[in-house]
Amino acid sequence: MAKIAVYPGSFDPITYGHLDIIQRACEIFDKLVVVVSDNPQKKSTFTLQERISLIKECLKDNSQVEVGSFSGLLVDHLKSKNVKVVIRGLRAVSDLEYEFQIASMNRSLYKEVETVFLMPGEDYTYLSSSMVKEVAALKGDLKKFVPPAVEKALRQKFR
């Protein structure tokens, strides 16, 4: 039986930090499903479809990864797909408390779920989508933060 995990997030936009976590997860699991959160209450720079398209473009050569979306509670999505493992990235100790709360809540809603925390490589411990968007808005160099397709999309958004 294949080991499957889900990596949820807003991915607004996907960064090299996210891609690093995806690569690490693919070394542990047979299949990884990257799911983009469709939360209408959250103001996103990119639409849900744009985020999915960018992720698919960045991962087009990785046959282990499937890309999709979900709305509502993550645990409901997990149950509907019969998946019991969630991947979350931890950049710094400051992420741990928030992520621990989410993992605990998910487990209280779905007892079978396990959350696996992965740390990105040292080059990405400071990297966040918010910071990338700020650099893009200020016309800074994005090459070491995001793949070329994402850089192009950010340049178009922040013209």
Q: Is 88 a catalytic residue?
A: no
Q: Is 77 a catalytic residue?
A: no
Alpha helices in 43-125 (DSSP H): 48-58, 74-81, 93-109
- Which of 56, 81, 84, 91 is an active site residue? 91
Q: Is 133 a catalytic residue?
A: no
- Which of 24, 37, 51, 129 is an active site residue? 129
CB atoms near residue 96 (< 10 Å): 12
Q: How far apart are CA 114 and CA 126, in angstroms?
A: 26
Q: In 3-state terms, what secondary structure has residue 153?
A: helix
- Which of 42, 43, 111, 144 is an active site residue? 42
- Which of 18, 24, 77, 133 is an active site residue? 18
What tokens were used for 88? 């979350």
Closest CA to 6 of 67, 86, 111, 126: 86
Q: Is 159 a catalytic residue?
A: no
Bridge pairing between strands 4-9 and 31-37 = parallel
What tokens were used for 64? 């282990």
Catalytic residue numbers, as ranges: 18, 42, 91, 129
